[in-house]
């Protein structure tokens, strides 16, 4: 008999994609939600949607309903105002959840605008953007740093009420909820009283959240160290940014019920919101940009002509084997809908060669294609070396074929600029990549935070074997000297235990060296 699901879900959750702030790993988060028998969970990282798709896939794998959201930074006035306020007054928090695909697209647009137009200390939107992109969105008033909480804590009840009604007008009163939390902070306890009163005065509904930043209560100290890494302070600094609580963890439904026994509707509304959020992605659709052949020639005709001309140039005399192989590949490429894909790649490689930018001879399975060889995408004759086309592309393949291309490092940016100019900057973007807190690095980060002299931390870090991807736990198992220090020195034990909790978290984001997305539509 299937156990009924819990009657509470977390709708305000920060994962490791809230860089150096959230400490929840997605796999562990989904496992915890499943163990609590929750029917779903939300992701609401600060100002970004870096983890949205990975979160979606992991939730689906666990049989959970994913809610994709973002805790946005909202400018107090215009997003273009970047002249005053300082970091504390530059923005307020607002939690947004996507109800459907329209809402997801609007979230994407808002996050893009926040970085491109509104960045001031943080990526920000303003109420003009919120109003323009409000369809398909459920909004929540956020934590102590929300705009409504700010006014309530400043004893400006009327202004808080006015702001609440303003958000209700932007999103629709049925789509705007007032958040209450039980996180052990004195300010929060005072705020909850006012939020409940505000809900009664405005008719807006309450929702219970916990502003989750780490998985377990026992992770609070490690999270404190993580904040010190972010702010470049130490644990001994009494003026550092810190959360005055150990309650921002992924609480069980029973814990949340106990906290909000007097306002059960706030718990029930988490399930109502879950039921209203229905976002489904399809990952099997191609969104290739349209390649425009010269003189408006039909793409298929142009593609075949390029290939046939290239075959003549490569081989001179065309044997039956060459004809058969070329015809076979062309049919599969056409049937798979990849003619434009080959033309796009041919075009920017051809441009690079015309500009005397060095292009590699080709590697990987693409070298098994005579069409790639004919187009100059590769310079390796697959017939000469007995390379098989089906390793690159065959009718049973469910993912796009990979064409690995190498350009001269010093001039690679020129090729990217060409692609941006051809397909528009709205349709082209470089891929993000994340630096993670690996074994040696996290020891050095935490050692600094703990005010341990660098020389001492360095000695400990150097005891970790240099094997790629080795974890601290593995290092303890294989390195006796490290294990001895861990067992005998309480400071080293604290250093390693704290580091183990932070190990593997994202530390920073950067631009991938060569990954570029070319889309058939604006990416924002």
Domains identified in the chain and CATH numbers: 26-215+250-276 (3.20.20.140), 294-427 (no CATH), 434-511 (1.10.10.1600)
What percent of the chain stands above pLDDT 70? 98
CA distance 514 to 407: 9
Beta strands in 157-238 (DSSP E): 176-181, 205-209
E strand or H helix that includes residue 129: helix 127-132
* The pLDDT value given to residue 243: 93
CA distance 130 to 37: 34
Residue 1 has pLDDT above 60, yes or no: no
Residue 23 has pLDDT above 60, yes or no: yes
For the chain, what is the radius of gyration of the CA atoms? 27
Any bridge partners for residue 429, and if so which?
Answer: 517
Residue 39 has pLDDT above 90, yes or no: yes
pLDDT band for position 2 (cuts 50, 70, 90): low
Mean pLDDT (the chain) is: 95
Among the listed residues 306, 424, 411, the one whose alpha carbon sits nearest the alpha carbon of residue 353: 411
> What's the whole-model pTM score?
0.92
Summarised one tens digit per residue, pLDDT across range 351-398 is: 999 999 999 998 889 999 999 999 999 999 999 999 999 989 888 776
Residue 86 has pLDDT above 80, yes or no: no
Summarised one tens digit per residue, pLDDT across range 465-499 is: 999 889 999 999 999 999 999 999 999 999 999 99
Mean pLDDT within 498-516:
93
């Amino acid at each position: 008999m299937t156990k009924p699901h819990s009657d509470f879900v977390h709708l305000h959750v920060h994962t490791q994609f809230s860089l150096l702030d959230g400490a929840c790993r997605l796999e562990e988060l989904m496992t915890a939600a499943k163990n609590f028998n929750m029917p779903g969970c939300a992701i609401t990282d600060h100002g970004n949607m870096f983890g949205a798709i990975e979160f979606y896939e992991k939730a689906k794998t666990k049989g959970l309903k994913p809610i994709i959201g973002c805790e946005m930074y909202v400018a107090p006035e215009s997003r273009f105002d970047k002249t005053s306020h300082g970091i504390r007054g530059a923005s307020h928090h607002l939690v947004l959840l996507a109800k459907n695909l329209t809402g997801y697209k609007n979230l994407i647009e808002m996050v893009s605008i926040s970085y491109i137009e509104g960045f001031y200390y943080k990526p920000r939107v303003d109420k003009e953007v919120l109003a323009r992109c409000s369809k398909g969105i459920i909004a929540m008033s956020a934590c102590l740093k929300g705009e409504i909480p700010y006014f309530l804590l400043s004893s400006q009840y009327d202004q808080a009420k006015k702001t609440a009604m303003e958000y209700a007008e932007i999103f629709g009163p049925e789509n705007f909820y007032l958040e209450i939390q039980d996180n052990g902070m004195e300010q929060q306890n005072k705020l909850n009283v006012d939020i409940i009163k505000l809900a009664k005065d405005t008719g807006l509904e309450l929702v219970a959240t916990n502003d989750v930043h780490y998985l377990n209560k026992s992770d609070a100290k490690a999270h404190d160290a993580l904040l010190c890494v972010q702010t470049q302070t130490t644990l001994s600094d009494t003026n550092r940014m810190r959360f005055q609580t150990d309650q921002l963890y992924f609480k069980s439904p029973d814990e949340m019920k106990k906290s909000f026994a007097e306002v059960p509707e706030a718990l029930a509304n988490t399930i109502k919101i879950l039921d209203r959020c229905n976002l489904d992605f399809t990952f099997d659709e191609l969104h290739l940009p349209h390649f425009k052949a010269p003189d408006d020639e039909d793409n298929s005709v142009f593609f075949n002509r390029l290939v046939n001309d290239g075959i003549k140039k490569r081989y001179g005399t065309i044997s039956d084997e060459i004809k058969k192989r070329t015809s076979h590949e062309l049919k599969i490429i056409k049937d798979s809908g990849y003619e434009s894909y080959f033309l796009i790649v041919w075009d920017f490689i051809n441009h690079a060669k015309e500009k005397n930018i060095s292009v590699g001879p080709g590697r990987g399975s693409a070298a098994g294609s005579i069409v790639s060889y004919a187009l100059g995408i590769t310079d390796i004759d697959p017939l000469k070396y007995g390379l098989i086309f089906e390793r690159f592309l065959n009718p049973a393949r469910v993912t796009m074929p990979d064409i690995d291309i190498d350009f001269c490092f010093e001039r690679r940016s020129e090729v990217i600029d060409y692609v941006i100019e051809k397909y528009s900057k709205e349709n082209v973007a470089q891929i993000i990549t994340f630096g993670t807190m690996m074994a040696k690095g996290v020891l050095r980060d935490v050692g600094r935070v703990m005010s341990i002299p660098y020389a001492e931390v360095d000695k400990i870090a150097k005891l970790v074997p240099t094997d790629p991807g080795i974890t601290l736990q593995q290092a303890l198992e294989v390195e006796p000297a490290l294990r001895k220090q861990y067992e005998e020195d309480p400071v080293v034990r604290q250093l390693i235990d704290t580091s183990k909790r932070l190990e593997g978290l994202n530390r920073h984001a950067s631009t991938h060296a060569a990954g570029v997305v070319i889309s058939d539509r604006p990416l924002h």
